[in-house]
């Protein structure tokens, strides 16, 4: 049985009540650091400090992620060491590799066109 667009909209509008019932029944729980609004509903703001998030994805942290992984640290260990979610670490390692290669080319006096 396929759902219609109206069914999806109805479920979406009922989602807060469904979640509240599941929490009350003990089936699920909110994260330990979840903030709540004055009316008792969860604060939907997922990233509290955008500046802190931006610092985590700074070029130096990407190079560090690449170096840690290159030394043999696992993906989970690298993510924990860089204080980023596990889903971000592969991107950071890739960008760190690119930045490392670019710095090495720059130090050797090579340009993009002379390769």
**Predicted pLDDT of residue 32:** 78
Average pLDDT, the chain: 83
* CA atoms of 89 and 77, how far apart (whole Å): 10
Contact 92, 57 (CB under 8 A): yes
Residue 10, classed as helix, strand or coil, is helix
Question: Do the beta carbons of residue 64 and residue 78 sit within 8 Å?
Answer: no
**What one-character-per-residue DSSP string does 50-107 give?**
HHHHHHHT-HHHHHHHHHHHHTT--HHHHHHHHT--HHHHHHHHHHHHHHHHHHHHHH
Using one digit for the tens of pLDDT, what is the confidence trace for 11-64? 888 988 888 899 889 998 887 778 888 887 787 765 555 555 555 678 999 999
- What pLDDT is attached to residue 62? 93
């Amino acid at each position: 049985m396929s759902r219609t667009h109206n069914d999806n909209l109805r479920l979406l509008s009922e989602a807060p009540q469904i979640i509240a019932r599941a929490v009350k029944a003990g089936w699920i729980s909110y994260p330990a650091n979840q903030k709540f609004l004055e009316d008792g509903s969860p604060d939907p703001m997922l990233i509290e400090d955008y500046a802190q998030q931006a610092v985590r994805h700074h070029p130096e942290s990407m190079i560090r992620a690449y170096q840690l992984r290159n030394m043999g640290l696992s993906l989970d260990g690298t993510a924990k060491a860089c204080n980023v979610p596990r889903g971000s670490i592969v991107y950071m390692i890739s960008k760190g590799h690119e930045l490392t290669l670019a710095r090495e080319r720059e130090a050797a006096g090579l340009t993009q066109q002379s390769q």
